[in-house]
């Protein structure tokens, strides 16, 4: 018995999402395999040794806003703060992420 190679074709187009919550709901109810041809590989950068710490004091309203923004994008407030700091310190990372 011989096997034939089959090309996976996208059944639909990935829609534009108005929010991360809308996108999360979409992927909770759809299979990425139906959109295989639209997916693109991405480079992932992992931070090396994060054992050094920095204590940062924020007023309550600022901390509340940081937590809300972090929750909206699905990360912790510490992660979001670290992402923002790295964006300011290394502008080339932002360009690589959006490319």
pLDDT in tens, 45-95: 777 777 788 899 999 999 999 999 999 999 999 999 999 998 888 866 555
Domain boundaries, the chain: 9-42, 55-99
Per-residue pLDDT, 43? 85
**Mean pLDDT computed over 27-35:** 89
pLDDT higher than threshold 60 for residue 33: yes
* Three-class HEC string of 58-89: CCHHHHHHHHHHHHHHCCCHHHHHHHHHHHHH
- Supply 55's token pair: 């204590």
CB contact at 8 A, 17 and 26: yes
The pLDDT score that the predictor gives to residue 8 is: 46
């Amino acid at each position: 018995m011989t096997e034939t190679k089959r090309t996976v074709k996208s059944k639909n187009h990935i829609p534009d999402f108005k929010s991360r919550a809308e996108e999360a709901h979409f992927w909770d109810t759809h299979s990425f395999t139906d959109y295989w041809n639209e997916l693109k590989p991405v480079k992932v950068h992992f931070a090396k040794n994060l054992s050094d710490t920095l204590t940062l004091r924020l007023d309550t309203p600022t901390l509340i806003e940081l937590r809300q923004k972090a929750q909206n994008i699905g990360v912790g407030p510490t992660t979001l703060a670290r992402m923002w700091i790295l964006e300011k310190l290394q502008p080339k990372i932002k360009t690589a992420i959006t490319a």
